[in-house]
Amino acid sequence: MERVAVLIPCYNEAKTIEKVVRDYHESLPDADIYVYDNNSTDHTAELAEKAGAIVRHEYRQGKGNVMRTMFQEVEADCYLITDGDDTYPPEKAPEMVRMILDGKADMVNGDRLSSTYFEENKRPFHNAGNVMVRSLINRIFHTDVHDIMTGMRAFSRVFIKNFPILSQGFEIETEMTIYAVERNFIIREIPIAYRDRPNGSVSKLDTYSDGFRVLRTIFRLFRDYKPLLFFEIFSLLFLIVSLCCFIPVVHEYFMTGLVPRFPTLIVGSTFGICALLSLFSGIILEVSVKQRSRIIEMLTNLSMEMNKHGEK
């Protein structure tokens, strides 16, 4: 029998967690519902257990830490992740799960931004942040994912067991999307009717500090996955500065036969060297990334074969 696990990371969601657990029990009656409590100071854990969830605890604060523990501990054929704040209705959950179990996708995103998100969400900076992050990632990684930061996703077992989580907080959503794109996993999106938090329920996402972490994660993953392009940009910038310094000095030399501005010449030479170093760094790291990708692909294929043998 195919095993489905619903994973709900929670921090102080006592107001909504009972309803969320019951809703997903009704939508996916054969699934195991796991609630991972992340140091809540209210009665989130007790209420989740009362509603019928399997409650576990993660004491390292942050959504990324919770996700790491969930992925390590829970065994299933399909993993559905949602939030405990009752903003993601479960009506589309069976369709998302079925796409994973039928092998049509490795990651299915609940796409809020193509549905009701901008009407329901009352935090304008969150709206702008979602659009900016989506535009950045789609442009840098040449993809077309509509909702990068969604908290409702379904995953295959192969994706979950091979995904190395490095983030500790909300930037985990960005990391998962970029990893799926770069490792050529099949990504599907299903529009979902997002609804805003009920009165009295407070978002744990800080617009500025968490937004900065997301941008830093994009920067880091851009460097890690596309080092040649990343360092080519810096090489080009250094080259432009170098030429701005060199051209007047060279022009002066041809006009007078003298080089009176030695400091400018030295600065130009320094930036020219930096341009070359950046370019060669990108080339070397690009080769390393390609080799690492081959190794990861081999390990992923091995993992898939082992899963198939285990099912037999």
Query: pLDDT tens digits, residue range 202-216?
Result: 666 666 777 788 888
pLDDT tens per residue, range 146-166: 999 898 999 999 999 889 888
Residue 191 exposed, middle or buried by CB count within 10 Å (0-12, 13-18, 19+): middle
Secondary structure class of 205 (helix, strand, coil): coil
Cβ-contact 85, 197 below 8 angstroms? yes
CA distance 116 to 113: 7
Q: What was the pLDDT predicted at 90? A: 93
pLDDT mean across residues, the chain: 88
The tokens for 142 are: 């040449």
> CA-to-CA distance for 19 and 257, rounded, in angstroms?
83
Residue extents of the structural domains in the chain:
4-225, 227-311
Measure Cα distances from 12 to 7, 8, 71, 101, 312 in Å.
16, 12, 21, 32, 42
Distance CA 161, CA 33 (A): 19
Q: Are the C-beta atoms of residues 29 and 98 closer than 8 Å to each other?
A: no
Average confidence (pLDDT) over 2-23: 94
Confidence of residue 222 (pLDDT cuts 50, 70, 90): very high
Burial of 87 (0-12, 13-18, 19+ CB in 10 A): buried
Q: Report, at the CATH architecture level, how domain 4-225 is classified.
A: Alpha-Beta Complex (3.90)
Least-confidence region, from 26-40, 63-77, 113-127, 159-173 = 113-127
**pLDDT tens-digit series, residues 92-123:** 999 999 999 999 999 999 998 887 676 666 66
> Given 3-state DSSP classes, what are the helix, strand and coil percentages for the chain, each rounded to the nearest 5?
55, 10, 30
> Residue 306 to residues 104, 205, 303, 309: CA-CA distances in angstroms?
20, 38, 5, 5
How do residues 278-293 score in pLDDT, each as one tens digit?
Answer: 999 999 999 998 888 7
Residue tagged 């299903």 (tokens): 190
Q: How confident is the model at residue 239 (pLDDT cuts 50, 70, 90)?
A: very high
Identify the pLDDT of residue 266: 92
